[in-house]
A and B are shown apart, each in its own frame.
Chain A
């Protein structure tokens, strides 16, 4: 029991580090709009895994050595990546088509190889199919350590490359004037994606690893307008998904690990989508409704001040609910007071906006913010004095007879 706990901890640590590395790497892939390339990379690992197995068995080994299998995976995904880049650059295929072609062909070839291995004899089967969906069941301690170390190293490389990757993703031309070579930075980014994919094969599996690269990044995007924070949050969420997914699947060993990790990541994404402040769906809806209410209230008050009919039914309802007009449309005392206040604010603004000295303040005019919120009482008094001595202009005075309180 002790031992199982320790192993689970070790696996969770490995999965957590992998998740952090995947989240951060995925954030940069997402910012560079290259997320899907990693899908081609991951599917292209399968033939490499199978060939490495066959090769190791042929050499008289057992064929289960994780480092050997991952080495094969890395080599064949590198080949897949090279084909994607060659197709994109040298032919008329777009990157999407190239990704689709490489992904399916390499994956198909890998499945064929797996079938061949299975027919070689049941005893020889090394559970290679666990690389499809990932599994932590029966994982060796050494395997967990390989994964943890690999994740940590990838993360370190991410930190080293974070500025160049950000600069190139935002503005490749400017990055070039600063001495960065965008093609080389992109190559580094692809190497990171390849590393994460390879390291993640055992735990998450090649089919779903792309989800661990994309989901934390897009989830993180909801929370911030800063690239480095996106990367940081994506790392946190990826780590959370990796570690908790590993623990969950240790509690229910029949479930494949990869899908559980991805489901945790998807839950984090959904939470972000709905609840993130400002960019989240909920916050957006609330902000929109609050803004709409503000606009209608203000317009309604100004209409009252000018003695106009309030046309918008929503404005009428708002004014009614606030006790500013009665059901029959007659303005209450409170309504009159507030309308006068709004009209005065409007007059102050229009005076400011007509004066060159008011330019700095006038730049903040949005039709809604009362000027009292932006200036000190002294400044306000000075402004009112200026308006009074200037004469508010006959049309401005005549229009709001009931506005004076």
Chain B
């Protein structure tokens, strides 16, 4: 645990983090749906202006981590600081794209209207939606390549198209911290390229991106940092130092194909077989 904690701070020193508040700082977070915790005692520091991948097997608690961080589901314990402040003060600066949107697909709303919902923090209860707002929303749809579908009812889009509309809604927020749960799930190669371009341009504007990601082979291409989790954090830090075979082995528990590992870490010799855990009947 101490070793993991040491790896977990991508910043050079504690002083630096005191001077410029981190986009996201989580301490001792535990979340559970029943008697067993889905996320246990997680610390997480997210570096500013970088792209961080959250990696881990199915059911590792990645989505839970994001949702509890955002207060969508309650946490059992733990503190969350966003840009050095409590969540409620900085909601306008965070944009979230869920893994599987919990929306009413028959709802009378068009792609463009969905994107405009991203402007809620700006408009408030009574603010008027001006022509500038509308053209901003259109630009966001355009950035994700969905301009042609602005007038389409949201349920009448394909899964990948819907995903892009929700990304556009997040873009409309003009947030500083983007939290995306599997933005590339179920999208074709061209769309993946389009989305990663959008994310990289956000990063170039100095914004911070945190994305749950499953495709290990693209991690080094797409991301600067990784946060590897399986219920509790396994490793964190820059890809060069934290994205290691050992970390992946321990997160995935030997469920990774050795072919993939060889491809990812060609210099390393044959992957050592993970230690089998003693089972009850053994």
> A31-B108, A225-B108, A227-B109 are known contacts. Are A171 and B125 too (CB-CB below 8 A)?
no
Interface status of A99 (Cβ within 8 A of chain B): no
Complex Cα gap A363–B145 (Å): 12
Question: Assuming A163-B125, A167-B117, A171-B103, is B71 touching A176 (CB within 8 A)?
Answer: yes
Q: Among residues 144 to 170 in chain B, which have CB atoms less than 8 Å away from a CB atom of chain A?
A: 148, 153, 169
* A313 at interface by CB-CB < 8 Å: no
Report the minimum CB–CB distance from A48 to chain B (whole Å). Answer: 31
From B91, B102, B107, A173 is in contact (CB under 8 Å) with B102
A163 to B101, CA, bound (A): 19
Per the bound structure, the CA–CA distance linking A33 and B125 in Å amounts to 22
Of the four ranges (under 10, 10 to 19, 20 to 34, 35 or more), the interface on chain B belongs to 20 to 34
Instruction: Take A169-B104, A173-B72, A177-B91 as given contacts and tell me if A225 and B125 are in contact as well, using a CB distance cutoff of 8 Å.
Output: no
Contact with B along A307-330 (1 / 0, CB 8 A): 000000000000000000000000
Chain A residues positioned under 8 Å from B71 (CB to CB): 176-177
Contacts of A230 in B (CB 8 A): 108
Nearest CB in chain A to that of B114: its residue:
A170
| Neighbouring A residues of B114 by C-beta, 8 Å | 170
A52 within 8 A of B: no
By a CB distance below 8 angstroms, the chain A residues around B101 are 171, 173-174
State the main secondary structure of chain A at its contact with B.
Answer: helix
B83 located at the interface, meaning its Cβ lies under 8 Å from any Cβ of chain A in the complex? no
B221 to nearest A CB, angstroms?
Answer: 23
Q: With an 8 A cutoff between CB atoms, is A178 at the interface?
A: yes
Q: Are A226 and B125 in contact (CB under 8 A)?
A: no
Roughly how many angstroms separate A229 CA and B109 CA in the complex, as a whole number?
Answer: 10
Distance, CA A227 to CA B129, complexed state (A): 15
Once A160-B125, A163-B123 are accepted as A-B contacts, the answer to whether A170 and B91 lie under 8 Å apart by CB is no
Q: Does B184 contact A (CB under 8 A)?
A: no
Q: Which residue of A lies closest to B124 (CB)?
A: A163
Q: Are B72 and A176 in contact (CB under 8 A)?
A: yes
Known: A31-B107, A163-B123, A224-B108. A178 touches B91 (CB 8 A): yes
C-alpha spacing A176/B153, complex, angstroms: 23
- For residue B84, CB closer than 8 A to chain A, the reply is no
Is B98 interfacial (CB 8 A cutoff)? Answer: yes
- B 112-150 contacts with A by CB, 8 A: 113-114, 117, 120-121, 123, 125-126, 148
Task: Given A169-B104, A169-B107, verify A179-B121 contact (CB < 8 Å).
Answer: yes
A177 to B67, CA, bound (A): 9
Contacts A167-B117, A224-B108, A227-B109; A173 near B98 (Cβ below 8 A)? yes
Instruction: Judge if B96 is at the interface, Cβ distance under 8 Å.
Output: yes
Bound-state CA distance A177–B101 (Å) is 13
How far apart are the CA atoms of A147 and B102 in the complex, in Å? 39
Mark contacts of A156-199 with chain B using CB atoms, 8 A cut-off: 1 yes-contact digit, 0 otherwise: 00011101101101111110111110000000000000000000
Min CB–CB distance A225 → chain B (angstroms) = 5
- Minimum CB–CB distance for A96 against chain B, Å: 18
Kindly list chain B residues whose C-beta atoms are within 8 Å of the C-beta of A161: 125
**Which among A31, A166, A179 is the interface contact of B88 at CB below 8 angstroms?**
A179
- Chain A nearest CB: distance from B175 CB in Å? 10
Q: Is A221 an interface residue (CB 8 A)?
A: yes
Q: How far is the CB of B145 from chain A (nearest CB, A)?
A: 10
Q: Assuming the A-B contacts A160-B125, A167-B120, A225-B153, are A172 and B102 also in contact, with contact meaning beta carbons closer than 8 angstroms in the complex? A: yes
**Closest A residue, CB atoms, query B89:** A179
> Contact: B91 with A174, CB < 8 Å?
no
Q: B110 contacts which chain A residues (CB < 8 A)?
A: 225-226
Contact present for A170 and B125 (CB under 8 Å): no
- Provide 24 A-B residue pairs closer than 8 Å at the C-beta atoms, listed in order of the A residue: A31-B107, A31-B108, A159-B126, A163-B120, A163-B123, A166-B117, A167-B120, A170-B103, A170-B104, A170-B114, A171-B103, A172-B102, A173-B101, A173-B102, A174-B101, A174-B102, A174-B103, A174-B169, A176-B71, A177-B94, A177-B96, A178-B121, A179-B121, A230-B108
B residues whose Cβ falls under 8 Å from a Cβ of A = 67, 70-72, 88, 91, 94, 96, 98, 101-104, 107-110, 113-114, 117, 120-121, 123, 125-126, 148, 153, 169
Residues of A within 8 A of B (CB): 31, 33, 159-161, 163-164, 166-167, 169-174, 176-180, 221, 224-227, 229-230, 363
4 additional A-B residue pairs with CB within 8 Å, beyond A160-B126, A178-B91, A227-B107: A31-B104, A170-B117, A171-B102, A173-B98
